[in-house]
Amino acid sequence: MLALAVEIPYWGQSLLRVVGGIAAVLLPAGTIVYLFLFKMMSFMQSRLGPMEAGPYGSMQLIAEVGKWLQKEDIAPEKADVHIFRMAPIIVLVSTFLLVAVVPFGPQAYFTNFEVGIFYALAVGSISVIGILIAGWASANKYSLLGGLRAAGQLIAYELPMVLAVVGVVIQAGTMNMQGIVVAQNTGEIFGWGGLGFPFIITQFVGFMIFMIAVQAELTQAPFDMPIAESELVSGYMTEYSGFRFLMFFIGEFATAGVFAFIASVLFLGGWGVPFAWFGWETLADVPGWMNVAGPVIMLTKMLLLTFLIMWVRFSYPRFREDQLQTFAWKFLIPLALANIVVTAIIKVAV
């Protein structure tokens, strides 16, 4: 994993990777929940939020986990119990599979797939299965409706997301996540390399489509029809209590963090700094200290992007179901296809 002088045996490497992966899932989730869900939302609503547990309520998360651990785990008598119990675990597993592809430094990556971003888009949709079977297995009308709505929404916004990424792949000329990072940081704007060439400049349309799709995939407001609390009482999560509910909750915010990681790799230059600053030419020139600086840079960009997601979430009212589908099919998908064609024409012409 890290470029150390000593050779680490394979099991050691794997253990390091798994520990790093657990940190990369839980750390962003905790940060997002405390910083944005507890504090930012409170300030936007002119209240203080949690203040009692620790300084400024910073220990609130630990208190919450302690509370959820002690809650009774109730399954409705008519539910399909095994599938009911399995569903939150599937959602959590999909988050872990997703984070495996995010690079955090020149050597600090978990996996280095040649088809990295394609893999991420593929495993990202596994959580749909978890949500759908959670809605079905609960044997509850609200849950069933919520699960169906979630499935309809997630497949509708899966497409704009996939198609928005194609623009980046065309520009980078590779699907490898490291390759995309290097392509942006070795790039030049009209011969000037001081900023590298983050793809957000030319792929701004793609970036906007990607972030809207992420918002919808995470079922955050204004795309929260599936978990609309005022009509469906949390939709597919209605019957969940105790720790299984918390696993849905962790999965949701951990996935928000991972998607923000992926967006920052695709559009904001990922872990890298512009290579021109230090006179690096290729990935091999990047020194080992970037393995430490890289995660910090990634975390900063992740917080920036999740701030955007949460800002929108706390500001806008909910879409109606027909508006939501119309927006995806009649606006985002044609726009994403046009973006692909224009990007490809410019790439071939220039």
Residues 312-341 that bind other proteins (CB under 8 A): 321-322, 325-326, 329-330, 333-334, 337, 340-341
Q: Which is nearer to other proteins, 175 or 260 (CB)?
A: 175
In the stretch 255-294, what mask flags binding to other proteins with x, by CB under 8 A?
Answer: ----------------------------------------
- Residue 145 binding other proteins, by CB under 8 A: yes
* 208 neighbors 202 (Cβ within 8 angstroms): no
Q: Least distance to other proteins from the beta carbon of 207, Å? A: 17
Q: Which of 53, 63, 233, 293 binds other proteins (CB under 8 A)?
A: 233
Restricting to residues 77-106, which ones interact with other proteins according to CB under 8 A? Answer: 77-79, 88-89, 92-93, 95-97, 99-100
Q: Which of 22, 44, 48, 292 binds other proteins (CB under 8 A)?
A: 22
Which of 294, 306, 303 shows the shortest CA–CA distance to 269? 294
* 18 neighbors 42 (Cβ within 8 angstroms): no
How many residues line the site for other proteins (CB under 8 A)?
Answer: 79
Q: Which is nearer to other proteins, 112 or 300 (CB)?
A: 112
DSSP conformation class of 53: S
Q: Least distance to other proteins from the beta carbon of 311, Å? A: 28
Q: Which of 14, 54, 189, 281 binds other proteins (CB under 8 A)?
A: 14
Which of 109, 144, 122 shows the shortest CA–CA distance to 261? 109
Q: Is 208 exposed, middle or buried (0-12, 13-18, 19+ CB in 10 A)?
A: middle
Q: Taking contact as CB under 8 A, which single stretch among the options 39-47, 198-206, 241-249, 304-312 is the one that binds other proteins?
A: 241-249
Positive or negative torsion for Cα 76, 77, 80, 83: positive
Q: Which of 156, 228, 260, 310 binds other proteins (CB under 8 A)?
A: 156
Which of 331, 228, 217, 295 shows the shortest CA–CA distance to 21? 295
Q: Which is nearer to other proteins, 93 or 293 (CB)?
A: 93
Question: Hey, what amino acid is at 2?
Answer: L
- Residue 344 binding other proteins, by CB under 8 A: yes
Q: Which of 127, 185, 238, 339 binds other proteins (CB under 8 A)?
A: 238
- Residue 304 binding other proteins, by CB under 8 A: no
- Residue 48 binding other proteins, by CB under 8 A: no
- Residue 42 binding other proteins, by CB under 8 A: no
- Residue 2 binding other proteins, by CB under 8 A: no
Restricting to residues 52-81, which ones interact with other proteins according to CB under 8 A? Answer: 68-79
Question: Hey, what amino acid is at 190?
Answer: F
- Strand, helix or coil at 106? coil
- Helical ranges in the chain per DSSP H: 10-32, 41-44, 60-69, 81-99, 116-124, 126-137, 141-172, 177-185, 204-217, 229-232, 242-267, 290-315, 321-326, 333-349
Q: Which whole-number Å values give the CA distances from 219 to 83, 153, 197, 228, 326, in the listed order?
A: 22, 8, 31, 10, 17
Restricting to residues 109-128, which ones interact with other proteins according to CB under 8 A? Answer: 110-113, 115, 118
- Residues linked to residue 192 through DSSP beta bridges, in sequence order: 189
3-state SS, 210-247, equals: HHHHHHHHCCCCCCCHHHCHHHHCCHHHCCCCHHHHHH
Q: Which is nearer to other proteins, 133 or 310 (CB)?
A: 133
Q: Which of 33, 133, 212, 247 binds other proteins (CB under 8 A)?
A: 247
* 144 neighbors 135 (Cβ within 8 angstroms): yes
- Residue 144 binding other proteins, by CB under 8 A: yes
For the beta carbon of residue 183, count every other beta carbon within 10 angstroms.
20
Q: Taking contact as CB under 8 A, which single stretch among the options 39-47, 138-146, 267-275, 301-309 is the one that binds other proteins?
A: 138-146
Q: Taking contact as CB under 8 A, which single stretch among the options 13-21, 30-38, 263-271, 282-290 is the one that binds other proteins?
A: 13-21
